[in-house]
Amino acid sequence: MPVFYRRLPPFHYVSPRTIEEAVLFLASHAGESKPMAGGTDLIPNLKRRELAAPNYIVDLKGVEELAGLSWHPQEGLQIGALATIRSISRFPEIRRLYPSLVQAALSMASPQVRNRGTFVGNICSGIPSADSAPALLSLNAELSLRSSRAERTLPLTRFFIGPGETALQPDEIVTALRIPEAAERCVYLKLSPRHSMDMAITGVAAAVTKSRNGYSDVRIALGAVAPVPMRAVRAEAVFKDRPISKDAIEEAAKAARAECRPIDDYRASAAYRRDMVYVLTRRALEQVLVP
């Protein structure tokens, strides 16, 4: 690009107080408005002109209904759209019942960014390496979405469509992430060259619960190795009606490697990412599965 920008492009700023107000505005200004929560993704994108500047930035932080972070024994975990990454990493029930979410949260960027950024914002970016995505996918997270037209619920597995592309409509916002059921054990492993401030080269999350027939329900999700964060369903199938064993883990790790679809890019080659899927999947399973 011929100009390196230091300033943001011009836009108008609106600050709705309710979900209704927010979605009505998005509907009436369809195509020229963009919602914002933490801004840690939006602002750099706008500054770099990677995103066409919208006429309106709709700041959702004034909408209290979106700010919740709560857990109930029956309903499970609800992560409001505005829950910051930091607050997620400190929430007692998340630390106790969903530690992979804490691992994911603490692997993201920096304290400064975690104080502003949100999990919902992270998944709405639709980037294949989004660190919150694998753990959420492995925990069967669902999204609640609202527009002026309708309210809907979508499993996270159906939310990611392509790199940078999600099922979120332009007049829609995510109001919350829901995780109905806790896992017995879960983990998120992130691989990158440094120990901080890197995007994942490969991210693997695993979660296990005892299913009704006594065998394990294993969920494995992969990040940064496909056009979208994905569940490794063939790897998961290895454990259907089968006892845990070292061989099963090995087989699942190889299956995950075979089913991921990484590309060569300047951060890593597809071959390396595939190999790392094998390594991280094996390690993640070794951590969550006890024979």
Partner 1 sequence: MQNTERISIRLVVNGARSDISVKPSATLLEVLREDLGLTGTKEGCGVGECGACTVLMEGEPVNACLVLAVEADGKHVETIEGLSDGDVLHPIQQAFVEMGGMQCGFCTPGMILSAKALLDENKSPDEEEIRKALEGNFCRCTGYTKIIASVRDAALRMRK
Partner 2 sequence: MDEYAVIGKRLPRVDAKEKVLGRARYAADYSLPGMLWCKVLRAPHAHARILNIDASRAERLPGVKGIVTGKDFGGWTWGFMANTRDEPPLAYDKVRYLNEAVAAVAAVDEETAEEACELIEVDYDELPGVFDPEEAMRPGAPVIHEYRPNNVSLEYHYDFGNVRGAFEESYLVREDRFKTGRVTKGYLEPPASLAYYDPAGSITVWPAKQSPYFHYRHLAACFRLPLSKIRIVQPFIGGGFGGTKNDSVAGDFCAVLLSKKTGKPVKFVYSQEEELSVSKRRHPVILYNKMGVTRDGVLTAIETRAVADLGGYTSISPLSLYLVGFATPIPYKLPNYKFDIWGVFTNNPMSAAMRGHGITHSRFACEIQMEMMAEELGIDPVEMRMRNGIDPPEAGGIYRTINDITFKTCGFKEALKAAAEDPVWAERGRRPGKIGPVSYGVGISGTAYLGGARQLGHQSCGAVVRICEDGTVNLLTGATDCGQGSDTVLCMIAAEELGVRLESIDIKRVDTAYTPVDPGSYGSRVTILAGQATQRAARDARRQLIESAASAWKVEPGELDIRGGFLFLKSNPGKRIPFEKLAKMACYEGSGAVIIGRGYSGYGIEPMDFNTGHGNGGTSYSFTAQTVRLGVDMETGKTEVSDFTIAHDCGRPLHPISVETQNEGGAVQGMGQAIYEEFIMDKGVTRNNTFLDYKMPRSTDVPKIRVIDIITDDPDGPFGAKEASEGSIVSSPPAVISALHDATGIWFKEQPVTPEKIVKALKDAGKWGSS
Contact stretch for partner 2 (CB under 8 A) within 75-83, 95-103, 218-226, 261-269: 261-269
Nearer Cβ to partner 1 (32/286): 32
Strands (E), 156-234: 160-162, 165-166, 172-179, 185-191, 202-210, 216-223, 230-231
194 binds partner 2 (CB under 8 A): yes
From residue 76 to residue 115, the character string flagging contacts with partner 1 as x (rule: CB under 8 A) and all else as - is ----------x-------------------x--xxxxx-x
Please choose which of partner 2, partner 1, none residue 219 contacts, taking the beta carbon within 5 to 8 angstroms, the exact cut-off set by kind: none
Nearer Cβ to partner 2 (5/290): 5
Nearer Cβ to partner 1 (30/197): 197
Distance of CA 252 to the CA centre of its chain: 23
- Which residue among 21, 59, 93, 198 contacts partner 2 (CB under 8 A)? 198
Site for partner 2 in 37-76 (CB under 8 A): 48
Residue ranges in the chain assigned as alpha helix (H): 19-28, 42-47, 85-90, 92-97, 99-106, 111-114, 119-124, 132-138, 233-237, 246-259, 270-288
Q: Which of 107, 112, 132, 135 is nearest to 122 (CA)?
A: 132
Q: Write down the least CB distance from residue 174 to partner 1, Å.
A: 20
Question: What are the φ/ψ torsions at residue 10 (nearest 5 degrees)?
Answer: -70, 150
Contact 199, 190 (CB under 8 A): no
**Residues interacting with partner 1, by CB under 8 A?**
6-13, 15, 38-40, 43-44, 47-48, 55, 57, 59, 61, 86, 106, 109-113, 115-116, 195-197
